[in-house]
Amino acid sequence: MGTLDGKVAIITGAARGQGATEARLFVAEGARVMLTDVLPQGDAVAKALGDLAAFAKQDVGSAADWERIVKSTTQRFGRLDILVNNAAIYRMRSLLDTTDEELDEITRVNQRGPLLGMRTVAPAMRAGGGGSIINISSGAGLRGVRNMIAYSTTKWAVRGMTKCAALELAPYRIRVNSVHPGIIETPMLEENPAALNQAMVRATPIGRIGQPEDIARMVLYLASDAAGFITGAEFSVDGGGAV
């Protein structure tokens, strides 16, 4: 018996990195998964997972795309139980160097995307008797960080909207929690200078870089019935960086 037997999930940003790892783990635990991304590589990830997975291209900042994804997921798999709002973009920019265009782009994906996702999946989850929404925030959504003000702003917003949505959706047995990764070995780190990444690893008490599997295992727990009494909470998966 898998931890997620019988459950259906949407995972955004699932073409690579954390999202792809989450999708593989969910399928291994018995879930049927709709992978979405703007990157077409997600199709190959889904095909490798077999009949329990499918891929659809999605702009998470588009309300119409969200309606299409939820409809196609429920039509294909019959229900919807889990949403993982994983899609995000990152730019290393200071306050004074952040352009209006960069701010709008990051906000559209990282902040508008999760809000639209929660709003769109809630009716389907309510019809099915409940569900679990996991919003991927960041350690930068827990504390101030230099030179990533737009990214950090959106990740603080994800943390806040998680708590608001948890209160509003609890009567429908829909749980909403946030996960706050530290430095994780994904393509997103390519935006940083190598010296910065090395310094971040040295500052991590556990003394290593995190792996996508570290995040996926926490997401799996929150998606499962084992976390049935947890909502509105935030979970740091950062090797002790928030201590």
Question: Which segment of 44-53, 114-123, 234-243 scores lowest on mean pLDDT?
Answer: 234-243
Report CA-CA distances (Å) from 172 to 74, 134, 169, 224.
Answer: 18, 16, 5, 17
pTM for the full model? Answer: 0.94
Q: Which residues are catalytic?
A: 151
Distance (Å, rounded) from C-alpha 210 to C-alpha 17? Answer: 12
Say which DSSP state 129 is in: T
Centre a 10 Å sphere on the Cβ of residue 12 and count the other Cβ atoms it contains. Answer: 27
Summarised one tens digit per residue, pLDDT across range 14-73 is: 999 999 999 999 999 999 999 999 999 999 999 999 999 999 999 999 999 999 999 999
Which amino acid is residue 125, in one-letter code? Answer: M
Distance (Å, rounded) from C-alpha 39 to C-alpha 16? Answer: 9
State residue 242's pLDDT score.
66
State residue 243's pLDDT score.
59
Distance (Å, rounded) from C-alpha 33 to C-alpha 24? Answer: 9
Whether 190 has a pLDDT exceeding 90, the answer reads no
Q: Which among 116, 200, 118, 103 is positioned nearest to 153, based on CA atoms?
A: 103
Residue bearing the bigger pLDDT, 203 or 109: 109
CA angle (218 as vertex; 16, 181 as ends), nearest 5? 65
Distance (Å, rounded) from C-alpha 243 to C-alpha 233? Answer: 17
Averaged pLDDT for residues 217-236: 98
Tokens of 228: 């049935």
E strand or H helix at 81, and its extent?
A: none
